[in-house]
A = this chain, B = another copy of it.
Amino acid sequence: MGDVARHAGVSSQTVSRVSNGYPGVIPETRELVLKAMDELGYRPNSAARALKLGSFHTIGVITFSLEAVGNHRTIQAISVAAAKAGYAVTLIPVDLPTQSGVEHAFGRLEELAVDAVAVIVEVHLLDRAKVVLPRGVPTVVVDSDAGDEYTVVDTDQADGARQATRHLIELGHTNIRHLAGPESSFAAQRRVDGWRESLSEAGLGAKEVMRGDWSAASGYEAGSILLADPDCTAVFCANDQMALGLYRAAAEAGRRIPEDLSVVGFDDSADTPAYSPPLTTIHQDFAEVGRRSVAAILEQLRTREQKPGTSIVPTRFIQRASTAPPAVSS
């Protein structure tokens, strides 16, 4: 900056003013400075600026993987919302879903150029690891249970599960199974709860859930076992990908969807309208989750205080073509 100032014959402060678009610089001088900047290939140093301003304008996102549909859509939404507020997003990958992996990620957090943190990790792993988020760093926990300590933005998983289950009940199904996500996931657990709740509300029994790991392959395997039960006419899947696996299992078992088997998914991922038949599912508003997360972070940044509490984003039922009344009643 000093070089530019000398080259333009002004003071470095004037260069700073031009660089930041501050008023009070005569157009003529501005031109001079811009020309000098260009000739010298000047680029502002963000480190110095961050040091001076005390902020990086950056939000860190701690996550395991972008593979899961929910994760990358949430992160995408966060990064767009953050960009809109002039913030960038730094990914902090946790390579292994283990205690040491999480610990390591949080250790790195200390040295990262980040003003705030969004955690998209099953928090029970954090607890188990006895890792505490650095004090004083504004934090939002997304789609997970964080107790009363942090600000939480969460999708209404249980209600989504209830909507899905009630839809199947209304169609007349009585043997409604659930293809659940892994036990380690809070989201999966809450979907199980919603499903179970709706069944008992309707006076229906809940058979044991089958567990997958969110992947389509696991949906196929669990689905194959599930379909061994000839009385099962409807399955609520904890996500769309496992539903896709179930489609395959159904095809191989000679069960037509929706005539012989009704299927409801969860997520409303982009592919579902092109499933064969198009999948009836629960829409998750990831964009809204991202927006609220960023809003909560900005709020904390502004007020400088952690404000525990949970913000619940509603889900929406999307009717497509994978459900029908059970064959016996048709």
Contacts and interface: CB of A to CB of B under 8 A. Distances in A.
Contacts of A276: 247-248, 251-252
Interface string A82-110: 01100011111101000000000000101
Which of A65, A88, A135: most chain B CB closer than 10 A? A88
Contact of A112 (B51, B88, B241): B88
A271 interface: yes
Which of A47, A49, A83, A275: most chain B CB closer than 10 A? A47
A90 B58 contact: yes
A108 B75 CA distance: 19
A168 B170 CA distance: 47
Interface string A216-256: 11011000000000000000000001001101100110000
A80 interface: yes
A202 interface: no
A119 to B, nearest CB: 16
Contacts of A134: 43
Task: Please give the count of copies of this chain that the complex contains.
Answer: 2
Contact of A135 (B41, B95, B108, B112): B41
A72 interface: yes
Contacts of A88: 90-92, 108, 112-113
B241 A271 contact: yes
Contacts of A216: 270-271, 273-275
Chain A contact patch, size range:
35 or more
Contacts of A83: 92-93, 95, 108
Contacts of A310: none
A202 to B, nearest CB: 31
A112 B59 CA distance: 12
A81 to B, nearest CB: 10
A10 interface: no
A39 interface: no
A80 B95 contact: yes
Contacts of A307: none
Contacts of A49: 111
B93 A91 contact: no
Interface in A126-161: 134-136
Nearest to A83: B93
Given A66-B75, A252-B276, 4 more contacts: A43-B110, A43-B134, A66-B66, A219-B274
Interface of A: 41, 43-51, 54, 56, 58, 65-67, 72-73, 75-76, 79-80, 83-84, 88-93, 95, 108, 110-114, 134-136, 215-217, 219-220, 241, 244-245, 247-248, 251-252, 270-271, 273-278
